[in-house]
Amino acid sequence: MTPTQKGYAPNLTVFKKSLKAASVETSIENLISLLKRRQIKNSRPCAMATAELLRIVVARDRWTDLGKLIAHIQDVGRRLVEAQPRELAVGNIVRRVLGMIRDEGNEDRKNEGSDSGSATGSPQLEFSIPAPTTTKRPPSSSLRFASTDGVHFTEDRPTTRPPLMTSHTSYAVANNVPVQQSMFNLLSATGSPNLTPSGANSPHGDSTPHPFALSEKMINSTKDLRAEVVNGIEEILDELEQVDDQIAAYALEHIHSNEVILTHSSSVTVYKFLLKAADKRKFTVIIAESYPNDHEETHLAVMGKMKDPESEEEDKETYLKSLQAAGITVILVTDASIFAIMSRVNKVILATHAVIANGGLVAAAGARIIARAAKAHRTPVIVLSGVYKLSPEHPFEFESLIEYGDPGSIVGYEDGTLVEKMEVDNPLYDYVPPDLVDLYITNLGSHAPSYLYRIVADHYKPEDVNFNNPELLF
C-alpha cells in the first residue's frame, strides 16, 4: 500500500511535514501534484492528506463569513478532485468538511437567534416528539435522534463526531425548526438554486433572525467558528486513524472457529480484522495474491512484513503482528485458483477502495471474480469499509471509476517485440455490483448493501453532493 521504496520520494508523511512551513496556496498545489503523480494514493492516505490540507485552509485562510469559507473549500475541493477524480475519498472528506461548516453556521445562527425567542425550544419537548426514522439507524447513533425530527434528514451530523455533537446538541435540540433554508440563502453568496426540499419551510417565521444583525455578530464569532471547524476536521482525522480498529472490533461477531476465510491483496483493514478475530478463534485464511499490481505487498504481508500505517517514522519500519504469529494458518494461492478453492471457503472478506451509494464497491482488481465465484458457490461475501470511503456519487458508467495501471507489469520489455505489437490492459480496480455483496461492515456497524444509501445520506448534505460538478469530470 505505502510505497515500498525508501528515500526521499514525497509521500503522505513528507506532505504532512511540509504543511507546517509552506503557505496555504503552495500546500494546495503541492497536494494536487502529489495526487496527480499518484505519490499519495489509496483511499486512506488521500483522505488524510485532504483533511490535513483543509485544516490548514480553515485555520490560516482569512475569511470573514461562512459563505466565503464554504466557497473557498468548494474551490479547493474541486481542484483536488480534478487532480485525481477516481479517489472518491478526497471528495468525501471535502463534503464532510463542508457539511460540518454548514452545521456550525446553523448552530451559530441558532445561538444568535435564540434570543428572538422560539417557544418550541426545549430539549424535553424535543425528546417527546416521535422520531420515525430512528429505528432504521445504526445502534451507535443514539445521540443523533435528538435532531431527528422527521422533517428532513439532512440536518443530521455525522455519527462519527460524537464529542462535537454533545457540545452542541443543546442548540440543535433547542429548536424544532428546520432552519436550513433560511441559512442556505443567507450563506450562499451566489444565490444558487434552492436545493432544500420544499417541505422544509419553516413553520415559525419569527425564528429567522434579521440577516444584518446576524452577519455583524458573525464577524465577532469567526474566531470561535474557526476553532470549531478546525476541531471538527481534527475529529475526522482521528476517525481516519481509528477506523480500522473500530471495524476490527466487530470481528468476533462474524468469524467462528475453524473457519476458512478467503481474501485478496494486502489491506490493513482486513488484516486487523483477522488479527482481532485470531485473539479468540483459530481459523484458516486463504489469500489470493492479486497479481500483477499488489502481489509484492501481498507476499510481504504473508511473510509477516505488513507495514503498520500508524507508524510515522519513515526511517524505521514497523510491521504489524503477522497473522501466523496470531495462530492463523495462511495459504497463499494464485488468482486463477479462486474458483477451484471456493468450494472449501466459508466466507469471503474483501477490502474496498471506495463504496458508492447504490451499495456497489470499487476494489482492487480481481475482487469481482472473487465475489462472482463466491456467489456461484453461495458463499457469503463481507466487505470491510470505513465510512469515509462511502461516496454519495453514483456514476452510471462504472468503467469511469476504474483506473488503469502500468501494462509493463504484465508484458515488459523482456518479452521483446511483443510489447509494441499487442494491446495490453492492466486495470487496477474492479467494480463489484451490490448484488454480489452480502454484508458491509463499517466503523458504525454491519449493514445490508441496500441500506448504505441511508448512511450516505446521514453523512453528506444534499447541497454538497455535487460541489464539484462531476459531469464535467467524467
Partner 1 sequence: AATAAPVVPKKEDKTVEFFRHLYRQRTTSIADASKEVHPAVLALGLQMGNYTICGSCARLVAMLQAFKSVIEAYTTPPGNSLTRHLTSHVLSPQIDYLASCRPISISMGNAIRWLKLEISKVDVDTPEAEAKKDLCGAIDVFLQERVTYADKLIAKKAAGKIKDGDVIMTYAKSSVVQRTLLRAFSKGKRFKVIVVDSRPLHEGKHLAAALVNLGMDVQYCLLNGLVHVIQNVTKVLLGAHAMMSNGRLFARVGTAIVAMEANEADKPVIVLCETIKFTERVALDSIVHNEIAPADELVTPGGPLTNWEDMKKLQICNMMYDVTPAEYLHMIVTESGNVPPTAVPVLHRMGNESG
Binding site for partner 1 (CB under 8 A): 284, 289-293, 296, 299-300, 302-305, 322, 324, 327-341, 343-344, 365-366, 368-369, 372-373, 376, 399, 402, 410-411, 415, 418, 421-427, 430
Q: How many CB atoms lie within 10 A of CB 161?
A: 20
Give Cα 124 to chain centroid, integer Å.
Answer: 34
- Report the residue number, 376 or 448, with the smaller CB distance to partner 1: 376
Rounded alpha-carbon distances, angstroms, from residue 315 to 268, 305, 311, 312, 319? 20, 15, 10, 9, 13
Integer Cα distance of 303 and 126 in angstroms: 56
Q: Is 6 helix (H, G, I), strand (E, B) or coil?
A: coil
Rounded alpha-carbon distances, angstroms, from residue 203 to 151, 181, 274, 473:
11, 12, 52, 40
CA dihedral 210, 212, 218, 220 (to 10 degrees): -120
Question: Smallest distance, Å, CB 308 to partner 1?
Answer: 17
Closer residue to partner 1 (CB): 167 or 329: 329
Of 197 and 304, CB closest to partner 1: 304
Residue whose C-alpha is closest to residue 287's, from 309, 276, 303: 303
Using the minimum distance from each CB to partner 1, give the nearer residue, 134 or 329.
329
CA distances, 408 to each of 9, 87, 314, 472 (Å): 21, 23, 28, 31
Closer residue to partner 1 in complex, CB, 225/401: 401
Nearer to partner 1, 143 or 369 (CB): 369
CB of 297 to partner 1, least distance (A): 9
Residue 106 host element (H or E): helix 88-113
Select 56 or 365, whichever has its Cβ closest to partner 1: 365
Angle at 158 between CA 106 and CA 308, to 5 degrees: 135
Residue number, 111 or 324, with CB nearest to partner 1: 324
Give least dist CB 145 to partner 1, A: 42
Name the minimum Å distance from CB 332 to partner 1.
5
* Minimum distance of partner 1 from residue 334's CB (angstroms): 5
Nearer to partner 1, 430 or 464 (CB): 430
- Given a contact cutoff of 8 angstroms between Cβ atoms, the answer to whether 306 and 323 are in contact is no
Shortest reach from residue 375's CB to partner 1, in Å: 9
Q: If you search the block for the grid coordinates 455578530, which residue do you land on?
A: 217
User: What is the distance between the alpha carbons of residues 432 and 352, in angstroms, rounded to a whole number?
Assistant: 10
Between residues 252 and 303, which has the closer beta carbon with respect to partner 1?
A: 303
Could you tell me the smallest distance in angstroms from the CB atom of residue 405 to partner 1? 9
Minimum gap (Å) between residue 397 Cβ and partner 1: 12
Query: Which three-class secondary structure string do you get for 303-323?
Result: CCCCECCCCCCCCCCCECCCC
Q: Which is nearer to partner 1, 85 or 138 (CB)?
A: 85
| Smaller CB separation from partner 1, 194 or 343 | 343
Q: Assess contact for 140 and 444: CB atoms under 8 A.
A: yes
Least distance CB 301 / partner 1 (angstroms): 9
Q: What's the closest the beta carbon of residue 420 comes to partner 1, in angstroms?
A: 10
- Phi-psi region for residue 7, left (φ > 0), alpha (ψ -120 to 50) or beta? left
Give the chain's largest Cα–Cα span. 81
Q: Least distance in Å: CB of 252 to partner 1? A: 21
Sign of CA pseudo-dihedral 439, 445, 447, 451: negative
Find the radius of gyration of the CA atoms of the chain: 24
Q: In whole angstroms, how close is the CB of 355 to partner 1 at the nearest point?
A: 18
> CA 80, CA 32: separation in Å to the nearest integer?
6
d(CA 373, CA 341): 10
